[in-house]
Amino acid sequence: MGDPMEENKKMVAAVSAVLNYLKEEDEMKFICMQNFALPGFPTPLNAPAASVAAGQWAISGRYDQMQMRTMMQMKAFHR
């Protein structure tokens, strides 16, 4: 068996890395949402302004998918 103190340090480092990654992901989502709100932000393929609302729904859906994937991965690694 390994040293419990060393294992604790590894666990703290791993959890810290995951939390830092999730924090950065949330910050990037916030930045993307701010950019979509800018009046001069280009829309895909010069689409009409009505598609901006659909873009926000797409970002929200993508975020939900990534969150579900993360939760499933965490469950898989805890087995």
- Residue length of the chain: 79
Domain boundaries, the chain: 4-38+50-77
pLDDT at position 58, please? Answer: 76
CA distances from 73 to 18, 37, 66, 69, 76 (A): 12, 32, 10, 6, 5
Reported as type and span, the H/E element at residue 44 is: none
Q: What is the pLDDT of residues 61-77, one digit of tens each?
A: 888 888 888 888 877 66
Instruction: Locate 48 and state its tokens.
Output: 């009409």
Q: What is the pLDDT of residues 3-36, one digit of tens each?
A: 888 888 889 999 999 888 888 888 888 887 777 6
pLDDT at position 53, please? Answer: 55
The model carries a pTM of: 0.42
CA distances from 23 to 4, 16, 32, 37, 63 (A): 28, 10, 14, 21, 13
pLDDT at position 59, please? Answer: 80
Confidence band, pLDDT 50/70/90 cuts, at residue 45: low
